[in-house]
């Protein structure tokens, strides 16, 4: 599932592609007059919909905005996978020690929680 781009409302400004840290949005044609969202790459963070000046991007049905992402230090093994998948560089810590989330960097996409093998990352909606 990914955010939905209404091609009739898209003016091709590229703001959505600029803010997408996961590079899920790209020009749909050679002249970049319209854009498209790759649903295999989109992590549903919602940054593109917030920036779109024409409201051309909407959330998929059933989407819920994540309010906060935290790491349970009791479950975290310090594998650093969360840091490697985070485009915002929000998780930090030492390998083999519990990691933490820098809330000032985190934009609540939940990509780290989806990849965590130890279910150590809590997502609050």
**pLDDT value for 1:** 75
Reported as a single tens digit per residue, the pLDDT across 89-125 is 999 999 999 999 999 999 999 999 999 999 999 999 9
- The count of structural domains within the chain is 2
- Helix then strand then coil, in percent of the chain rounded to 5, is 15, 20, 65
Distance CA 9, CA 56 (A): 5
* Among candidate residues 37, 58, 79, the one where a domain is terminated: 58
Q: What is the overall mean pLDDT for the chain?
A: 95
Neighbour count for residue 10 (Cβ, 10 Å): 19
Q: Is residue 76 part of a domain?
A: yes
**pLDDT value for 34:** 87
Residue whose entry in the numeric block shows the structure tokens 């959330």:
59
29 or 111, greater pLDDT: 111
- Asked whether residue 49 falls in the same domain as residue 77, the answer is no
Q: Is residue 63 part of a domain?
A: no
pTM (two decimals): 0.81
**pLDDT value for 31:** 78
**pLDDT value for 75:** 98
* Domain that includes residue 29, residue range: 4-58
Q: Nearest 5°: phi and psi at 117?
A: -80, -15
């Amino acid at each position: 599932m990914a955010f939905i781009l209404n091609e009739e409302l898209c003016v091709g400004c590229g703001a959505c592609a600029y803010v997408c840290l996961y590079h899920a949005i790209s020009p749909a044609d050679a002249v970049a007059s319209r854009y498209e969202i790759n649903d295999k790459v989109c992590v549903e963070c919602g940054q593109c919909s917030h920036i779109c000046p024409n409201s051309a991007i909407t959330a998929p049905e059933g989407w819920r905005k994540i309010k906060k992402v935290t790491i349970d230090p009791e479950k975290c093994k310090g594998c650093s996978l969360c840091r490697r998948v985070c485009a915002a560089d929000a998780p930090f810590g030492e390998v083999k020690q519990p990691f933490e989330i820098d809330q000032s960097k985190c934009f609540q996409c939940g990509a780290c929680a989806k990849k965590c093998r130890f279910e150590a990352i809590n997502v609050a909606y």
